[in-house]
Each structure stands twice: as C-alpha cells, then as structure tokens.
Amino acid sequence: MNRRELLLTLLAAPLAARRVAGAAATQGPQDTELILCGWDEVFILALGPGATPAHRKVWSWRVADSPEIPADLRPAFRTTDDCKPVDGGRRILISSSAGAIALVDRETKRASFHARVTNAHSIEMLPGGRVAAAASVSTAPTGNRLLIFDAASGKELASDELRSAHGAVWDEARNVLWALGGDVLRAYTVGVPGATRLARTFELALPDGGGHDLVPIPGSPRLFVSTSEHCWYFDRDRREMTPHDTIANLAHIKSYAVHPRTGRVVYIQAEGKDWWAEHLHFQRPDGTLRLPGEHLYKGRWA
C-alpha cells in the first residue's frame, strides 16, 4: 500500500464507523419488525423494547409501487386487511376488503401474484405454490367462500362455501387448512398441487358469532380465535375451544399476534364505532402505542 492509499484508508475509516453507528441507531439489536395494514398502505415498523416502544417506519407499500397490477384492479387495494410475511419475510401476502389479493416482494415491491377476490379478508400460502383466500360477506355469488389459487398462473383451483369467511391458516404439522367463518371453524384437506380440492374434515360451531381473526400460537397446538365479543383458544389436538387467558372478554379484536422468538403479544382493537384503530396494544410487557391518523386493522410480526 502506497502513502496515498494509506491516507485514503485512514480518512475513510471514521466515515465507515459513522455509517455503522447510524445503521445501529436505525435498527437496534433488540428491535422487532411489525407489518401493519388497514388503509391503502401496508407498512413495517421497527419497534424497540419497552411498554411504549420507540418505532420507525422501515418499509412501505401502496399498489402504485407494483405497476404489474392492472389499472382496473388497483382501486381494490384501497382497504388492506391482512399482511402476512412468507419465505422468511422476503415476501408479503396482502388482502384487501375492497376486492383483491397479492403476493409482493419486499425488496422490489413487485407483485408476483394478484387476483380479484370479493371482500377478501385473509390470505395464506399453501404448499406447491398455492394461495388460499377468504372471501367474506357479499351479495355477489363470489363472496362467502374459501378459495385456492395457483400463484404462478393466477388461476382459481378450488373453492367452498364459507359464510363470512375471515381467516385461513395452513397447518403443516397436521397437513390441513384451518378456515374461520362467521359462525364455524373448519379444517380442510387441499389435495396435491396437481389435483387441488377442498375437502372438509372437521367443523366446530363457534361459541358466539362474528368469527374474525385466526392465527397460530408459536410453539403450541393452539390457534387464537376472535369473535365479535370474545377471544378464544382452539386446541388443534384436543379439538376444543376455551376462553383466552387474558383478553377473553375483549370485543372487536381485529388482529392478534405472538412473536415467535420473544413471546411479545400485539393486538388491535377497533375503537369507538370505527372498524379501525390508532393504537397498538402490547403484552409481555403491557403497553400501548398510538399512531395518530392511521387506520390500523391487522398487525403481523415480520
């Protein structure tokens, strides 16, 4: 190394150190990422520790960021209502009650899959490059259904009637698709990719009406289930429903999620007469975070 190269190296070192320090300040070692949706934007917050965590928006998506989605379908993403990470967080499944679903790459924001789904309320990835979607209440015959699509072609492969369909969870260990309707919880087999079919294998009437969110509890056989007025656990081995241990009597819970590593809980409860909220509620530790002006509906750990 000559004298000029040595001098440039010495000058560059402090700058590199400042860049590393700045990156660390942006994303601390204890930060976790939370995907949020509810209006025309899906975004990710980096959350620090504590009851009222420091937070910073680190990613954002609107349908205009994916020009491959046809112009006539773009208005259908104006009220997003689910946002699930897949492939280790590299892609995000998005559904919208205005009538569409998509699979979006986090880095490029391009949509590798999109489809029109009436009053879509949830979306789930299945084996073999297939996507399940819950089409909720509608006077159109395309509503009140559980559907499966081929993500490569966008073709609908199968469907079944499910009134007020609101939730879908793939259970790899049991090789079934759990689906939540307005008054029932079901399990389906879905067949192999080349011969996709929806076959009901289990059905349980909900303790009360208005089935809303359905999510697995990490490291547990339980599913979280929210209804209009209560919150429940469903044990997939015992096939029984029991009241939630801490928020059983909370009404209008739109989403609930347990972080798989930290165990931290975040849930969203509709506020007033609105279907949306400005607050995130946390457990372990308990706390709240207000995001003024936001229309929050679902929150999923990234």
In a domain, 104, yes or no: yes
Instruction: DSSP letter for 277, please.
Output: B
In a domain, 13, yes or no: no
In a domain, 177, yes or no: yes
Counting other chains too, the contacts that 134-141 makes at CB distance below 8 Å and 24 or more residues apart are 134/95, 134/162, 134/165, 134/166, 134/167, 134/168, 134/179, 134/180, 135/165, 136/97, 136/164, 136/165, 136/166, 137/163, 137/164, 137/182
Give the pLDDT score at 159. 98
Q: What is the pLDDT of residues 54-85, one digit of tens each?
A: 999 999 999 999 999 999 999 999 999 999 99
In a domain, 27, yes or no: no
In a domain, 5, yes or no: no
Helix (H) or strand (E) holding 148: strand 145-150
CB 226 within 8 Å of CB 257:
no
> Per residue of the chain (302 residues), what is the pLDDT tens digit?
444 444 334 334 443 333 333 333 344 557 899 999 999 999 999 999 999 999 999 999 999 999 999 999 999 999 999 999 999 999 999 999 999 999 999 999 999 999 999 999 999 999 999 999 999 999 999 999 999 999 999 999 999 999 999 999 999 999 999 999 999 999 999 999 999 999 999 999 999 999 999 999 999 999 999 999 999 999 999 999 999 999 999 999 999 999 999 999 999 999 999 999 999 999 999 999 999 999 999 999 99
Give the pLDDT score at 30. 73
In a domain, 21, yes or no: no
In a domain, 4, yes or no: no
Give the pLDDT score at 169. 98
In a domain, 7, yes or no: no
**CATH number (domain holding residue 121):** 2.130.10.10
- The range of the structural domain enclosing residue 88 comes to 32-301
Q: Are strands 80-86 and 91-96 parallel, antiparallel or unpaired?
A: antiparallel
Number of domains in the chain: 1
| Residue 95 φ/ψ, nearest 5 degrees | -125, 155
- Give bridge partners of residue 56 from the DSSP assignment: 46
Give the pLDDT score at 31. 87
CB 191 within 8 Å of CB 160:
no
Q: What is the pTM of this model?
A: 0.90
